[in-house]
Amino acid sequence: MFALPQPSMERRKFDWRRFSAPVSIASMILAVLSVVLYFSIREHLTARDEANLPRVTVDLGYARYSGNVLPSGVSQFLGMRFAAPPIGNLRWRAPQDPEPKEGTTDAIDFGPTCLATEVTYPTSGQDEDCLYVNVWSPNNTTPDSKLPVWLFIQGGGYTSNANPNWNGSQVVDVSGKNIVFVNFNYRVGLWGFLASERIRKDGDLNAGLLDQRQVMKWVQTHISKFGGDPNHVVIHGLSAGAGSVALHLAAYGGRDDKLFVGAMSESVFFPAQPRVPELEYQFDKTVEQVGCKDDKDQMGCLRGKDIKAIQDANLALPFPGRSANPHFYWTPCIDGDMLRDYPYRLYEKGSFIKMPVLFGTGTNEGSVFAANVATQEGFVSFMKDNYPKLTKNETGPMLQKYPLLAPLPNHNAWFPSTSQAYGETTFICPGNIVMDAYAAANRSSTSWSYRFNVQDNQNTASGLGVPHVFEAPAVFGIDACPTPESFRTYNRPIVPLMMNYWISFIRSLNPNTYKLNGAPAWDAWGGNQSRYVFELDKNRMENVDDGQKSRCRFWESIVEVMEQ
């Protein structure tokens, strides 16, 4: 068992509930994060400091960009276009290459993020013209440097860009200047995931996923100019970004387009992802709300509307037959092309790219999403609001799998069961099931998993446990993203441990190669479903317990109902 030394200093407490309140307001977490982290992810430089930073220029062919060299010796290029603005006639179409631009463009500020669901337009920091990419690389690299590339796909439940512009300079620095880090925006909500046969006929389905694919192609073409190796790209996602990673591994029936060589997923997100015919009602509601219902060319009408008219329809509404809004209304659809079946079916059939993978979750993934229900009926209703095909045929067995659990502070009686059920079906079981598919494909030795169980006193006191993506600061570094105070004090030792495992996987496709000195070996998943438990002074390996295995088998057995 590997124990980490504990620092003794104390600082003011961080209220994690600002970011993950228990949750009738879960969707607000994503919007709050988008605003707060913009101001927290830059190196702590004044405007005068930034004005005096050395500049560095890169020529991408279609444009020349001038970025900054940070005091750490990391080059930072922000707000570069990777696609043409997806506006007007390019709405609900696959992203197009950027138009050529003369002269040199400053790349010292982040571009706007993509418009989120439930946001009133205009709004600061968000716009329809949002397809921007950021790159951090060691200074003075050349195309011959051929450094491994960390390509990060942010989360946000496919309804917002919830983790935009996280600062990649720390991971580049901690790696010994041995990697290049890339992150970007992609279309979300109605803009990225409106679905209909009418879009298939005159546009492209799953535009948000196609934006992600466009960045992967952009990296293949341009990353060498930043010192990166296009033949060594690892994709990494958080939450919906982690779900996206799982979808790209199975995209086009598992076709390997040689866009990446490894994949990492933190909290794989599998909401209901319906087939196109089941989503026609969303399109019908949209064209009615924006005034295009009676137009013979509904797509042309939608593309001709101003941004505000469309954004006013970018809402979360109850699923058919339900009375309460789901957490995630706009999601990828099974389009028969990029996504040819439900993800579980694709993994069951072996229709995915075989490569090294690292997947994992937090212990209490559902705690910031579960309704604070007092009754069994409230538990069932919440699950049906989010997975609307559930009937008594499934909720009966569900209640047997998730009986009344021990109470948690500040919550009603059935909250713990609701939290466990939603967390397992939406995040934990998807990761376990994908890992099992890799084991079945004889990839056990290059598949790793983890459970993050580092405790935070405030989270424990509020009954949240170890919530969704709480580990992010330990992966990206303190202040590279929103950072709870415990990571600055008693949980600080977990940061170098996790960062070096993640960097090691980026560099070598194995978390052990460049792990922190003295850190334990991270065993592969194997047939026993073995995963690393991050627990500060009790870091260890464990096998997934039989209860969770049984519950995950239950969810997998009703894939057609869950649409996962």
Active site residues: 239
Minimal CA–CA distance to 279: which of 191, 194, 189, 384?
A: 194
Contact assessment for residue 463 and residue 551, using Cβ atoms and an 8 Å cutoff: no
- Residue at token pair 């002269």: 103
Rounded Cα distance, 554 and 449, in Å: 21
Helix (H, G, I), strand (E, B) or coil at 184: strand
> Largest Cα–Cα distance of the chain, in whole Å?
69
Minimal CA–CA distance to 158: which of 185, 109, 192?
A: 192
Sequence-separated (6 or more) residues with CB below 8 Å from residue 298 = 198, 287, 292
Which tokens sit at 146? 């051929």
Please give the full DSSP string across 98-113, using - where no structure is assigned: PPP--SEEE--SPPPE
Which tokens sit at 57? 């220029």
Please report, for residues 147, 225, 407, the alpha-carbon distance to residue 143 in angstroms, rounded to integers and kept in the order given: 9, 5, 57
Contact assessment for residue 435 and residue 487, using Cβ atoms and an 8 Å cutoff: no
Please give the full DSSP string across 305-339, using - where no structure is assigned: S-HHHHHTT----PPTT-SS--S--S---B-SSSS
Sequence-separated (6 or more) residues with CB below 8 Å from residue 146 = 224, 227, 228, 229, 231, 232
> HEC profile for 228-286?
EEEEEEEEEEECHHHHHHHHHHCHHHCCCCCCCCEEEEECCCCCCCCEHHHHHHHHHHH
Please give the helix or strand (H or E) that residue 359 lies within, else none: strand 357-362
From its phi and psi, is residue 477 left (phi > 0), alpha (psi between -120 and 50) or beta? left
Cβ-based neighbour number of residue 97 at 10 Å: 15
Which amino acid is it at 230? P
Beta bridge partners, 362, equal 452
Contact assessment for residue 206 and residue 193, using Cβ atoms and an 8 Å cutoff: yes
Burial of 179 (0-12, 13-18, 19+ CB in 10 A): buried
